[in-house]
């Protein structure tokens, strides 16, 4: 495996020196996508939010700003990512408004029906079985809770498909595939948006 492939493969589970380098660029690299996706969130005031696959922590921080009364739980499969996210959000952790932990989205160790909103930015590509993982998200959401997914790849763009071939365990999904898996997991009122000039997609689902 060449150095480039080793580096880009850190998007799945950052670790070691290359993982640290990857995490340094994640917050700025995904900011525009995340902000675009968050613009589709409904006007509501969640009390509890969970950011799944939180990476280096920037998006959890933005959710804390957007929802000034909410508590945000940030989770990542990578211990190194969780460490970085905790450092990024240290002030909010100390204020009691944020919790950061290592966890597995296929087996979420969170109380059932305890969150109003779940988010997943640039991460579902690596989830081990969409329906199983989406069912876990549905389990921790309150009835009527929202689940926001934002991806840079729409599952058909050449760049995304190129990385899918070189990053082990990566799968770029189309809106139709995400929609089907969400509905199978118990979500309803699924809507989607495609960026007008980029292959970015946003999918927003509500728990029935």
pLDDT class of 63 with cuts at 50, 70, 90: very high
Long-range contacts of 68-72 (CB under 8 A, 24+ apart): 69/45, 70/45, 70/46, 70/97, 70/116, 71/47, 71/96, 71/97, 71/98, 71/99, 72/97, 72/98, 72/99
Residues near 158 by beta carbon (within 8 Å), at least 6 away in sequence: none
84 closest CA partner among 60, 115, 104: 60
Q: Where are the domains of the chain?
A: 3-188+198-207
Looking at domain 3-188+198-207, its CATH architecture is 3-Layer(aba) Sandwich (3.40)
The pLDDT, as a whole number, for residue 166 is 83
pLDDT class of 24 with cuts at 50, 70, 90: low
User: Average per-residue pLDDT in the chain?
Assistant: 90
Determine the average pLDDT of the residues in 131-154: 97
Q: With 0.75 as the threshold, say if the pTM is over it.
A: yes
pLDDT class of 169 with cuts at 50, 70, 90: confident
């Amino acid at each position: 495996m060449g150095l480039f492939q080793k580096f880009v493969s850190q998007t799945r589970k950052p670790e070691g020196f290359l993982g640290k380098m990857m995490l340094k660029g994640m917050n700025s690299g995904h900011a525009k996508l995340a902000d675009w996706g968050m613009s589709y969130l409904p006007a509501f005031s969640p009390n509890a939010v969970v950011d799944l696959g939180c990476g280096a922590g920037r998006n959890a921080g933005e959710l804390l700003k957007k929802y000034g009364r909410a508590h945000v739980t940030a989770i990542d499969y990578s211990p190194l990512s969780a460490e970085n996210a905790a450092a990024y959000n240290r002030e909010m952790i100390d204020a009691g408004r944020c919790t950061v932990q290592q966890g597995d989205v296929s087996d979420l160790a969170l109380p059932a029906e305890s969150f109003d909103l779940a988010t997943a930015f640039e991460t579902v590509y690596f989830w081990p079985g969409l329906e199983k993982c989406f069912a876990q998200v549905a389990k921790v959401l309150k009835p009527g809770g929202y689940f926001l997914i934002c991806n840079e790849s729409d599952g058909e763009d050449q760049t995304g498909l190129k990385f899918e071939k070189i990053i082990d365990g990566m799968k770029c999904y189309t809106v139709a595939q995400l929609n089907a898996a969400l509905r199978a997991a118990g979500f309803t009122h699924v809507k989607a948006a495609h960026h007008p000039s980029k292959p970015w997609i946003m999918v927003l689902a509500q728990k029935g």
